[in-house]
Amino acid sequence: MSMSTTTARPAGRPRSEKAEKAILEATLDLLGEGMGVSELSIEAIASRAGVGKTTIYRRWSNKEDLVVDALATLKAPVPELAGESVRDDLVTLLEVMRTEAGHVRRRCVMNIAMSESDRHPQLFAKFRKIAIEPRRNAVRAVLERGKANGELRADLDVELAMQTLTGAMIVHTKWHQGEPLAEDLSERIVDMVLEGIAAR
């Protein structure tokens, strides 16, 4: 018997991309307006999105899964890297962090996600896996490549170098108090760090 190339349509109502987008947007709006994760309710999200609670529960089994998916939409994907130099690739990766800080809702919601990590450890663990680890892995891979090809010191502590690079950008994006970040900030951070970790 030959295998069919088509898949059976799942039972029930078809998933509505429009409804899902409205739900995710409503979640982000409420968080961005200052509502904490603990105070956020499915009822409030449904009301803002203009859908019923059952529409939400058909897609997400609980509030934390919905918040994770909503927060993950704010993270830009890991950019394509040229792979020609450690410096250029690190600047590209940090530049994504810098430009994200210019989006008020992204900055506000990310701060909420980070500040409530102790109260919602499972939520943060999921968010970390979806939105943070891919970025960290990309930076780690660039640094490991630099060690392997001689651009960076052979004895480089990759984890510490990664934390130094991203930590410097996080401090700037978190505390710049609405002032535009310098357009050359990514380059300045990378160049300063490279002075200490580049091969001699």
What digits encode the pLDDT tens for the residues 11-43? Answer: 444 468 999 999 999 999 998 887 888 899 999
Residue 5, token pair as written in the block: 């190339």
Phi, psi for 170 (deg, rounded to 5): -60, -45
The answer to whether 154 and 199 have CB atoms below 8 angstroms apart is: yes
Neighbours of 12 (CB within 10 A): 7
The answer to whether 167 and 159 have CB atoms below 8 angstroms apart is: no
Task: Identify any residues that bridge with 5 across adjacent strands, giving them in sequence order.
Answer: none
* DSSP summary character for residue 11: S
Q: How far apart are CA 141 and CA 23, in angstroms?
A: 35
Domains of the chain: 17-70 (1.10.10.60), 86-197 (1.10.357.10)
Confidence class for position 44, pLDDT limits 50, 70, 90 = very high
| pLDDT attached to residue 15 | 60
pLDDT tens for 111-156 read: 676 677 788 888 888 888 888 899 999 999 999 999 999 999 999 9
**Overall pTM surpassing 0.75 (yes/no):** yes
For the purposes of burial, counting CB atoms within 10 Å of the CB of 185, is it exposed (0-12), middle (13-18) or buried (19 or more)? buried
Phi, psi for 4 (deg, rounded to 5): -80, 140
Which residues fall within 8 angstroms of residue 183, CB to CB, at 6 or more apart?
none
Mean pLDDT of 65-86: 89
Q: How far apart are CA 105 and CA 102, in angstroms?
A: 9
